[in-house]
Amino acid sequence: MKRVVVIDKDKCRPSKCGNYLCQRICPKNRAGEKCVTVGEDDKPLIDEDICIGCGICVKKCQFDAIKIVNLPEQLREKPIHRFGRNQFVLFRLPYPIPGQVVGLVGSNGLGKTTALMILSGQIKPNLGGSRKIDFSELITLFRGTEVQNYLEKLKDKEIRVSFKPQRVDKIPEKYSGKVSKLLNKTDERGILSGLIARFALEEILDDDIDRISGGELQRVAIAACLAKDADIYYFDEPTSFLDVFQRLEVSKTIREFCQNRSVMVTDHDLATLDFLADRIHVFYGTPGVYGIVSSPYSVRNGINTFLDGYIREDNVRIRPTPIKFESSYVQSTRGGSVLLEFSDIKKTLGDFSLTIKKGELYKQEVLGILGANALGKTTFARILAGEIKQDSGDINRKVKIAYKSQYPRTDFDGTVRELLKSVSDVKTESYKAEVIRPLELEKLLEREVKKLSGGELQRVAIAVALSQESDVYLLDEPSAFLDVEMRLSLASMIRRLVEKRECSAMIVDHDLLFLSRIADRGMVFFGKPGKEGYVEEPMSVEEAFDRFLKEVGVTFRTDKTSGRPRANKLGSKLDREQKDRGKYYMS
Ligand SMILES: Nc1ncnc2c1ncn2[C@@H]1O[C@H](COP(=O)(O)OP(=O)(O)OP(=O)(O)O)[C@@H](O)[C@H]1O
Ligand SMILES: [Mg+2]
């Protein structure tokens, strides 16, 4: 196999392009060969062996439905699974290791979920062909490797599998009734009550599954997965919807309750993955077209390899430039002037009270905001914007705030282009360069807003907020649903905008790596969610991380090679040393 052709059948409209334009313009077809044919579903099929990769059909297709990508020359293996002709194809598999947590990292659409589904027996791999294959054929492919051992046991049903699916928001479609009903069914190890306490689920046990929040669903799903008695536990994106405290608590719990068992986990939060995993497989390729799984690395090398973007064993660059973490930008060195100042502020809203220590916001600064959900972060921003009046305390001026809510929803009827046009001049070159390109929105412009995926809608919502003229941009969890590369590209983009526009940004986020890359200073929210919030003065990012990590009992240090913050494994020598010294974050 030299190249992969993928046709997006949802996008392809043969009747609207003048009747199979791709077929009519294909040079091979014009020379009498059958490169492009029409399948039983009346959609085109492209023969990868005949196709010469000229790309004419790709350029001419107005619906952007065709992708043709050359495979790396070094790739010798046959595919493991293909979803059909001209569909996504996966090469190689990661493999579980007893007693270890194996992490999978890579951009969206590279086959991480597909790999987990294969290893857990939910997808029967077809080795790239459409014929049904015998499981033993697959096992032969992996003869002499670790995968063989695992697949044999899976075939003989000697392995019990427990699986936490990626889309927890879909759980209410499958299960109804009370949370306790779902959880009680899973209690095979006698650890359920412990899990309920750790994940703070007591108060929702009597609630109906379809009434609880995304973060609650996620914790219920993780608890249900862990409570089952299995040899291997699969967690497909356990951190989405969770705040930063919950991410680390969940990670600690998984490690603790899965000692001597196998765990495989995929996530886009690298700081969490780093803390959770012992080993890492990097997924690379072209999203939606093909994915290749790297050999396993130690967790440190795996994440550094992914950030560096060069897979040595395959001699492949997965992105043009490495992702670097300079030590955090220090606001004072950029000499920004004060945008606004506030004295100690108090505000009570119903049962919730918020106490804010005095502080200031500088122009051209990004303030990273850390803390659990429901501690009053939005209330704080609305007070600064003058939308709600504080009970006591002063703010020296009113600023305009553009706001992106935590999980954007929309009932906008129309395309992305129409939505953006309603807030900004989409056509100007600077808008394209500053907003459209970094968020990769070009291809979404003609799509209907209502039909966007979570990650796509997130990017559009960020663009809408950043398109408004404002003094402060407050983005509540912009990293949610985005893959690592997009998170890091977003960080650079926001920094550039803030500097150019001489405004400031407040970024609430639960991804520590993302925050460390974007923030000049940090602010930490403490308290009891929904009851009281307490905010300290803005401080350096290092100090903010230190304060926050002390609360969760996890230590971090800076990685010498990549400059990124790295989690220490609980109980490791560094972890103990740092805790003895009271330094939870060391730069
Ligand atoms: N049943 C299916 N039929 C056809 N294509 C599919 C099917 N399931 C998944 N795909 C495609 O396979 C590719 C890989 O999907 P997968 O969900 O495994 O990616 P992923 O790495 O888990 O991505 P993410 O980080 O977004 O979760 C995607 O392009 C997806 O659209
Ligand atoms: Mg996935």
Is 138 domain-assigned? yes
Sequence-ordered list of residues with C-beta below 8 angstroms from that of 56, at least 6 positions apart, any chain: 25, 26, 27
Q: What percent of the chain has pLDDT over 90?
A: 72
Say if residue 177 is in the same domain as residue 145. Answer: no
pLDDT per residue as tens digits for the range 545-569 = 999 999 889 999 988 888 888 999 9
**Strand 472-476 relative to strand 401-404: parallel, antiparallel, unpaired?**
parallel
pLDDT per residue as tens digits for the range 364-413 = 999 999 988 889 888 888 888 888 899 999 998 888 889 898 888 888 99
Q: Please tell me if the CB atom of residue 113 comes closer than 6 angstroms to any atom of ligand 1.
A: yes
* pLDDT confidence of residue 386: 83
* pLDDT confidence of residue 203: 92
Is residue 519 within 8 A of residue 253, CB to CB? The reply is: no
From CA 145, how far away is CA 148, in angstroms rounded? 6
Say if residue 91 is in the same domain as residue 59. Answer: no
Ligand 1 pocket test, pick from 113, 123, 284, 487 with the greatest ligand atom count within 8 Å of Cβ, gives: 113
CATH number at residue 25: 3.30.70.20
Distance in Å, CA 236 to ligand 2 centroid? 7
* pLDDT confidence of residue 326: 67
pLDDT per residue as tens digits for the range 220-261 = 999 999 999 999 999 999 999 998 889 999 999 999 999 999
Taking the CA of residue 483 as reference, the ligand 1 atom at the shortest distance is 25
Q: Please tell me if the CB atom of residue 533 comes closer than 6 angstroms to any atom of ligand 1.
A: no
Q: Model confidence at 213, in pLDDT bands (50, 70, 90)?
A: confident
From CA 571, how far away is CA 577, in angstroms rounded? 9
Tell me which of 73-77, 476-480, 487-491 is least confident: 73-77
Strands (DSSP E) found in 226-276: 232-236, 262-266
Q: Please tell me if the CB atom of residue 151 comes closer than 6 angstroms to any atom of ligand 1.
A: no
Say if residue 451 is in the same domain as residue 391. Answer: yes
* pLDDT confidence of residue 332: 46
Mean pLDDT of the chain: 92
Tokens of 8: 């997006």
Q: Please tell me if the CB atom of residue 251 comes closer than 6 angstroms to any atom of ligand 1.
A: no
User: By alpha-carbon position, which residue is closest to atom 24 of ligand 1?
Assistant: 108
Distances (CA, A) of 157 to 32, 152, 154, 188, 454: 51, 9, 5, 18, 36
Say if residue 125 is in the same domain as residue 237. Answer: yes
Is residue 292 within 8 A of residue 106, CB to CB? The reply is: no
Distance in Å, CA 311 to ligand 1 centroid? 22
Which ligand has the minimum distance to the alpha carbon of residue 165? Answer: 2
* pLDDT confidence of residue 333: 42
Q: Please tell me if the CB atom of residue 186 comes closer than 6 angstroms to any atom of ligand 1.
A: no
Is 578 domain-assigned? no
Boundaries of domain holding 84:
72-159+233-243+262-322
Is 252 domain-assigned? no
Neighbours of 545 (CB within 10 A): 26
Q: How far is CA 222 from the centre of its chain?
A: 17
Q: Please tell me if the CB atom of residue 112 comes closer than 6 angstroms to any atom of ligand 1.
A: yes
**Strand 290-293 relative to strand 262-266: parallel, antiparallel, unpaired?**
unpaired
Is 566 domain-assigned? no
Taking the CA of residue 110 as reference, the ligand 1 atom at the shortest distance is 21
Domain stop point among 271, 288, 322: 322
Residues whose beta carbons lie less than 5 angstroms from ion ligand 2: 112-113, 166
The predicted model gives 121-144 an average pLDDT of 85
Domain stop point among 70, 102, 122: 70
Domain stop point among 70, 103, 121: 70
Is 455 domain-assigned? yes
Based on C-alpha coordinates, what's the Rg of the chain?
A: 25
Q: Please tell me if the CB atom of residue 86 comes closer than 6 angstroms to any atom of ligand 1.
A: no
pTM for this prediction: 0.92
CATH number at residue 448: 3.40.50.300
Taking the CA of residue 237 as reference, the ligand 1 atom at the shortest distance is 27
Is 358 domain-assigned? yes
Is 457 domain-assigned? yes
How many structural domains compose the chain? 4
From CA 300, how far away is CA 277, in angstroms rounded? 9
From CA 150, how far away is CA 406, in angstroms rounded? 40
Q: Model confidence at 331, in pLDDT bands (50, 70, 90)?
A: very low
Say if residue 108 is in the same domain as residue 199. Answer: no
The predicted model gives 112-121 an average pLDDT of 96
Ligand 1 pocket test, pick from 69, 92, 114 with the greatest ligand atom count within 8 Å of Cβ, gives: 114
